Chains A and B, each alone.
Chain A
Amino acid sequence: MIGEHFEQVLAAARTGAPWALQGLYEDLAPVVGGYLRLQGLREVEDHTSEVFLGVFRDLSAFAGAEPAFRSWVFTIAHRRMVDERRRQGRRPDARPLEDADQPLGGDVETEALDVLGGLWVSDALAELTDEQRQVVTLRIIADLSVEEVAAIVGKRPGAVRVLQHRAIERLRRALERGRITDPRRT
């Protein structure tokens, strides 16, 4: 979150100021990339870049505070994801949040836990249907409300509540049965 300076950053970004565009990108690109990655998109960096190019192009059309901006960015990201998956024409495979080619830093054990944690998250989310996963990741990663998620995925808030409830139940059962194991607890 950018916080109290958001309005100033947004105003500067509307004029095309590089530092402001960089600020918006640095703030939201990681979570947008994480969302796209958990939806099974490949070439996440390219898709994230395209999302932000769209965001920057249409900045003049946006009005609102930071939560609304966050929701707007994820709307663009979600639409791109839907388009891309339609293009791929297959069920996505959720991928770890951490890229294998990214240097993780720290000791070997920490690195292994990070990778396992990413796989754990992916395994858990793979238990969900596409719609459930979209709702859950938008709620968790994007930190959006039910109403905001509903607007993004094109459903009514009640339908989103049902989806998130079923997702929670699925995850709970999978975790109870040991089908998904938290590597940090073993």
Chain B
Amino acid sequence: MSDEFTRNAGGHEGDDVGEMTRHPRLDDRSADALFSGRLPADREDLADVAALAERVRLAASQAPTPLPNAVLAAVLADGLATDESDLPVTVRRGATAPAVRGTGRSNPRRKKTMLELLIAKLAGLGLLAKTGIAGAAVLAGATGAGFTGSLPPQTQAGFDRAFGEASAEETEELVELVVDDSDSDSDSDTTDAEAGERPEVPGDEGRATADEAAGDNGADGRATADAAATDGRAFGESKATEARENAPAGPQTGEEASTSGRQNGEEASTSGRHNGEEAATSGRDRAPEAPSGDGTADDTPATDAGQPEEVPAGSSDTGEAASSSAKEGTPAAGRP
């Protein structure tokens, strides 16, 4: 029996020192102050604890940003595909993030890695990163969805606009072409010879039309160029409208994108008209030596003459860049 009493006894008096509390429990306000590194009123005995809390808080705030793993680094560099777009959001050119307070010490190793990754991505993407149409084409090539209307509305509209005349086979060629272009990053430096090898795209159709125009003494060149210019302006304006519609959360940024798109369209229009006039002149000059219907896309003069008809493609580029900018301007609309 005595063993039972011993086993169940509370022990010697005062043996709970160090286990039970000897001070009144802190109320929430005092606890908040203590964990913030401030000494609660009438609790000088907690000065060391407050100092410790301050040290923990300081150490945490000054800790370097952890280096992201490969997957997260890619997400931080490229963005995250969302349900709304189903497309990877590319890094907007010239975009700057808002100042974020309280990030603590920067991590040079991480920043270097992020920068390298970002540069590599941008360099690798090439044309893809510059035109939403190309991105849509790649996606369509990968999923076969481009012509089925399964792309997001704004992307689908741009896709339809740019490739509406192409067949499925041509689309595959386009996808390959775009990927090749993005690999070589020569979208803006295409040589005449390369241009001659390109499959038929709206610009190449224009080139063929321009050949005919050259064959016809350039009489129709100006008219074709004017049509191309009008087309470019209309496309730019449609993209501007889309940009405005797609930026409900940020009317200011949407307006900027709209203005940018309209300007791009008008620039493309002007450029197209200018190039068209040059082509018309060129066609007129070459008329005696260019037999009707003989001009091919591989002929250097034909390539030159094709410049005005590349305006729609060019305008698509600038207009789509504006569209892409505007699309990415949707999140940027909220950018402070």
B177 within 8 A of A: no
B263 at the A/B interface (Cβ < 8 Å)? Answer: no
A23 with B21: in contact, given A49-B72, A120-B55, A124-B52 (CB under 8 Å)? no
The yes or no answer to B15 lying at the interface (CB within 8 A) is: no
For the complex, give the distance between the alpha carbons of A44 and B63 in Å: 12
Interface members, chain A 1-28 (any B CB < 8 Å): 1-5, 7-9, 11-23, 25-27
Residues of chain B within 8 A (CB-CB) of A19 are: 91-92, 95-98, 335
B34 sits at the interface (CB 8 A):
yes
Contact with A along B92-110 (1 / 0, CB 8 A): 1001111011111101100
Alpha-carbon separation in the docked complex, A99 to B63 (Å): 8
B252 within 8 A of A: no
Given contacts A34-B59, A168-B34, contact A176 B100 (CB under 8 A): no
Q: Do A18 and B71 touch (CB < 8 A)?
A: no
Bound Cα distance from A146 to B26, whole angstroms: 12
Q: Which of B22, B52, B82 lies at the interface centre, i.e. has the most chain A CB atoms within 10 A of its CB? A: B52
Complex-state Cα separation, A17 to B18, whole angstroms: 53
List residues of A (158-172) whose CB comes within 8 Å of B's CBs: 161, 164-166, 168-169, 171-172
In the complex, what residues of A have CB within 8 A of residue B103's CB? 26-27, 30
Q: Flag if A146 contacts B96 (CB, 8 Å).
A: no
Bound state CA distance, A169 and B52, in angstroms? 13
Given A22-B97, A169-B21, are A139 and B35 also a contact pair (CB < 8 Å)?
Answer: yes
Query: Is B16 close to A, CB under 8 A?
Result: no
Complex partner residue of A16 from B25, B48, B81, CB under 8 angstroms: B81
Min Cβ gap B47→A in Å is: 9
Given A97-B59, A97-B60, A117-B59, 13 extra CB contacts under 8 A: A2-B100, A12-B332, A14-B82, A15-B330, A17-B79, A30-B61, A30-B64, A30-B104, A53-B72, A120-B52, A139-B31, A172-B49, A176-B48
In the complex the two chains form, what is the Cα distance from A166 to B108 in whole Å?
A: 40
Instruction: Report B54-97 residues with CB < 8 Å from chain A CB.
Output: 55-57, 59-69, 71-72, 75-85, 88-89, 91-92, 95-97
The reply to whether A60 and B53 contact each other, CB–CB distance below 8 Å, is: no
6 contacts between A and B (CB under 8 A): A5-B336, A15-B82, A21-B80, A33-B63, A121-B59, A136-B35
The answer to whether A49 touches B48, judged by C-beta atoms less than 8 angstroms apart, is no
A186: chain B residues at CB < 8 Å are: none
Which residues of B have CB within 8 Å of A121? 52, 55-56, 59
Contacts of A56 on B, CB cut-off 8 Å? 75, 80
B76-A21 in contact (CB<8A): yes
Interface hits, B306-336 → A, CB 8 Å: 328, 330-332, 334-336
Shortest beta-carbon distance, A41 to chain B, in Å?
A: 11
A98 sits at the interface (CB 8 A): yes
